[in-house]
């Protein structure tokens, strides 16, 4: 078993919203590895970061990704930083991966630089988001088969475009 599509991208790109809508339109299940991590840990992601740190979170994320790639046959959304781990990038090889990109201004507007996104909190969240984009952009592109810019499109427009690209509900992604 393998996901029909894996979605990667930075915070605010629309991975969850686009993923849920696309899964519904394709008639397949949706799964988000961030939710899997919270289930594994029995705590929220901000709590994991605060109590155990980012390395512990990334280990849980790799466990969640490994399980999801083996068990899930629908649309799978990954946390924004999943691609920062070399092991995760290796796990994604051979899977259909879509990179939803978002620019700095739009990403900051969408995320609101809120507390549920622990890597975006701090003294200068805008600079943090910019550094995150700079670090991760080549990694998203490394794992993805194709990229869709989400700055100028609504989630519904993105899903419509994706369905046209993949041939609707009867096509394999």
Residue 171 within any structural domain of the chain: no
Contact 19, 32 (CB under 8 A): yes
Buried b (16+ CB within 10 A) or exposed e, 137-161: eebbeebbeebbebeeeebeebbee
Domain count for the chain, please give it.
1
> What does the pLDDT read at residue 113?
53
> What does the pLDDT read at residue 99?
97
Binding residues for substrate: 34, 58, 80, 136
pTM above 0.85, yes or no: yes
Inform me whether the pLDDT recorded for 68 exceeds 70: yes
CATH value at residue 83: 3.40.50.300
CA distances from 97 to 18, 31, 89, 131 (A): 14, 14, 11, 23
> What does the pLDDT read at residue 108?
73
Q: How many CB atoms neighbour CB 24 within 10 A? A: 14
Residue 145 within any structural domain of the chain: yes
CA distances from 71 to 15, 90, 115 (A): 20, 17, 31
> What does the pLDDT read at residue 9?
96
Binding residues for ATP: 12-17, 117
Inform me whether the pLDDT recorded for 25 exceeds 90: yes
Residue 21 within any structural domain of the chain: yes
Inform me whether the pLDDT recorded for 158 exceeds 70: yes
> Which residue range(s) make up the domain with 154?
5-166
Residue 16 within any structural domain of the chain: yes
Reported confidence tier of residue 124, pLDDT bands at 50, 70, 90: low
Binding residues: 12-17, 34, 58, 80, 117, 136
Asked which of 12-26, 47-61, 99-113 is least confident by mean pLDDT, the reply is 99-113
| Percent with pLDDT over 70 in the chain | 86
Residue 65 within any structural domain of the chain: yes
**What distance in Å separates the CA atoms of residue 170 and residue 173, rounded to the nearest whole number?**
10
Listed in sequence order, the residues at least 6 apart from 104 whose beta carbon sits closer than 8 Å to its beta carbon are 126, 129, 130, 133
Residue 172 within any structural domain of the chain: no
**What distance in Å separates the CA atoms of residue 141 and residue 147, rounded to the nearest whole number?**
8
In this structure, the chain runs to a length of 173
Q: Residues 150-156: what's their mean pLDDT?
A: 91
Residue 173 within any structural domain of the chain: no
> What does the pLDDT read at residue 18?
96
């Amino acid at each position: 078993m393998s996901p029909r599509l894996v979605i990667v991208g930075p915070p605010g790109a629309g991975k969850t919203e686009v993923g849920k809508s696309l899964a519904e339109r394709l008639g397949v299940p949706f799964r988000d590895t961030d939710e899997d991590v919270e289930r594994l840990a029995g705590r929220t992601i901000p709590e994991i970061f605060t109590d155990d740190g980012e390395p512990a979170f990334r280990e849980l994320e790799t466990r969640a990704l490994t399980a999801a790639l083996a068990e899930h046959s629908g649309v799978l959304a990954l946390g924004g930083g999943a691609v920062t781990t070399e092991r995760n990038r290796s796990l994604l090889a051979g899977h259909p991966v879509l990179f939803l990109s978002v620019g700095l201004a739009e990403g900051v507007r969408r995320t609101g630089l809120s507390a549920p996104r622990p890597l975006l909190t701090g003294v200068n969240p805008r600079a943090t988001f910019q550094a995150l984009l700079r670090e991760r952009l080549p990694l998203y592109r490394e794992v993805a088969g194709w990229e869709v810019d989400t700055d100028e499109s609504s989630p519904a427009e993105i899903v419509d475009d994706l369905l046209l690209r993949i041939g609707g509900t009867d096509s394999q992604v």
